[in-house]
Structure 1
């Protein structure tokens, strides 16, 4: 049966890792997460403030912990991270057999994000990344840092200190390239300091569905409906071509010889938000080696049911570049699109994070 599992086939046949974009206590304690590992071959987990807000606000699973820790911790943010770290540790322990497979450290990672309120704060980000890394205390955790311009130096610093990083909120090629270079810079800093680099892992999370959500209406107004739904996939394929170029050649080879692993591209925001498109398209159209796709549970369920497995990421790379050229000729500035989506993305994580802190405060003071 497992051989016929479409989700599992993505990794066994095409070497792409499927991670789950969701975490809460229920999925860990019920055995559902272990089932996803065993049956679907799920190889990691990503979390974000919106996911934790939903988990903590919408259930009573955290109430007792909030009251217990609230006796000594009065700051709602410190209390949130206390709760989150516990979940991340539990999930990381479930994934340790994946992490310890024959290629140690290739997968099995669980991601925890720094506060979205620090998205434009280099120093605050690196300090919190260090703190969370120490508190989780698992080799197979990744700390999520946004790929904003102010946080690029924080990414470099974290990598140089041996912290695994999941770079989030990437929407454009220019910023992706800057992030990949920050990773390489960090590895070089560490190697030059005489420290090992073989155990460090990183992914660059390229967000997809929001690109089409923003670009499609622009195409509609220009009468270019035939290009709708194609911008995100084209940008991702162009990013993959960049990845292949950046992680090859003399500079990279020196690091690879010292045991360095490439920073894999991770396809994020892969739950389809437009009912006109196939619900599995952001998995189906970007399957390829040495990449990661993190998907919500509903999308994974849909793919298990009717997804199409094939090596699609490397298909027609020149067509992707041609399509991006068509968009540019139509007056659609993908750099401006990426910048707008980054700013919106920061707000989309800030809002649930503030809501989450308010919910924790309410649960601490139930009678007020």
Structure 2
């Protein structure tokens, strides 16, 4: 499989993370095959992905019945199922995580906090802790949305050694705030004398959704020649922000103590425009 184009992407310092999970892909060996043959180096999930997995298969029926009979709420049943799958996926990705020269590169599996907590900082922090402890794997990332309330939760989670996938980023200003939260969280942790060389994070910058919003505005204002270009331009600008902030003197002090940069993860990369 040396000629596999997807796998060759890693030669350029890029990684493909699969934005999908269900029990079939884990138990059938398909996930391991994607890792071994196609070079997939991480997995992300969200409630919508799990909804599709659970509703389109009978694989979860027995566990749903068992958890429901135990008197658990709908949310508790959902996270019981999700945590179980995430733990299995973490084990499949463990060889990738362990083969990296530096912790913080690949081999991670992401599990998202409830979207109903997106504007509740303390509840997000509480659930991030709970999910981190329930999964109990070094290579899990807890997904926290980049809302205003989420920024504080991200900083707190990082300061407490929880790996974080910051999700639902659309704005360059908010992305810079997310990097600030990551760096501040590491600084707080370092001041407490705690290790920072094992804490990892990615910032998931959503692309196609930007064009969905902006393109009609461009058409309306006679700027149709720019249609479909704003998202990529935003990504390029975000990368320049990344390079600036992670080459600063402030960052170098953390880097000398083993900290790794918060990587940019390009999400929502499929084109939504048929043209």
What is the TM-score of this pair, normalised by structure 1?
0.73
- Match status 1:154 vs 2:142: no
| CA offsets 1:149-204 (integer angstroms, 9 cap, x no match) | 11111100000000000000100110000000000000000000000000000000
Q: How far apart in 2 are the matches of 1:91 and 1:102?
A: 17
TM-superposed CA distance for 1:68, in Å, is 1.3
Which residue in the other structure is 2:30 paired with?
A: 32
- Match status 1:108 vs 2:107: yes
Which residue in the other structure is 1:80 paired with?
A: 78
Q: How far apart in 2 are the matches of 1:223 and 1:49?
A: 38
| CA offsets 1:53-87 (integer angstroms, 9 cap, x no match) | 11111211100001112221420101110100000
Q: How far apart in 2 are the matches of 1:74 and 1:142?
A: 25
Which residue in the other structure is 2:116 paired with?
A: 117
Root-mean-square deviation (CA, aligned residues, Å) is: 0.8
Describe the SS at the equivalent of 2:142.
strand
Describe the SS at the equivalent of 1:100.
helix
Which residue in the other structure is 1:6 paired with?
A: 5
Which residue in the other structure is 2:55 paired with?
A: 57
- Kept in 2, the 8 Å contact 1:73–1:79? The answer is no
Which residue in the other structure is 1:20 paired with?
A: 18
Q: How far apart in 2 are the matches of 1:227 and 1:102?
A: 40
Which residue in the other structure is 2:274 paired with?
A: 275
Query: Which of structures 1 and 2 has the larger relative contact order (alpha carbons within 8 angstroms, sep 6+)?
Result: 1
TM-superposed CA distance for 1:219, in Å, is 1.0
Which residue in the other structure is 1:144 paired with?
A: 143
- Kept in 1, the 8 Å contact 2:100–2:106? The answer is no
Q: How far apart in 1 are the matches of 2:267 and 2:135?
A: 23
Which residue in the other structure is 1:240 paired with?
A: 239
Q: How far apart in 2 are the matches of 1:266 and 1:175?
A: 15
Q: How far apart in 1 are the matches of 2:92 and 2:71?
A: 28
Of the three residues 21, 46, 49, the one matched with 1:48 is 46
Consecutive unaligned residues in structure 2, runs of 5 or more: none
Q: Please give the residue correspondences for 1:258-269 in structure 2 after superposition, counting only pairs within 5 Å.
A: 258-269=257-268
Which residue in the other structure is 1:170 paired with?
A: 169
- Match status 1:67 vs 2:65: yes
Which residue in the other structure is 1:308 paired with?
A: none
Which residue in the other structure is 1:189 paired with?
A: 188
TM-superposed CA distance for 1:225, in Å, is 1.4
Describe the SS at the equivalent of 2:250.
helix
Which residue in the other structure is 1:283 paired with?
A: none
TM-superposed CA distance for 1:3, in Å, is 2.0
Higher gyration radius (CA): 1
Q: How far apart in 2 are the matches of 1:115 and 1:234?
A: 31
TM-superposed CA distance for 1:104, in Å, is 4.2
Of the three residues 87, 95, 98, the one matched with 1:97 is 95
Describe the SS at the equivalent of 1:188.
helix
Q: Which structure 1 residue ranges, 4+ long, deviate > 6 Å from structure 2?
A: none
Q: How far apart in 1 are the matches of 2:147 and 2:139?
A: 24
- Kept in 1, the 8 Å contact 2:175–2:238? The answer is yes
Q: How far apart in 2 are the matches of 1:217 and 1:156?
A: 36
CA shift in 2, pair 1:253/1:104, >3 Å: closer
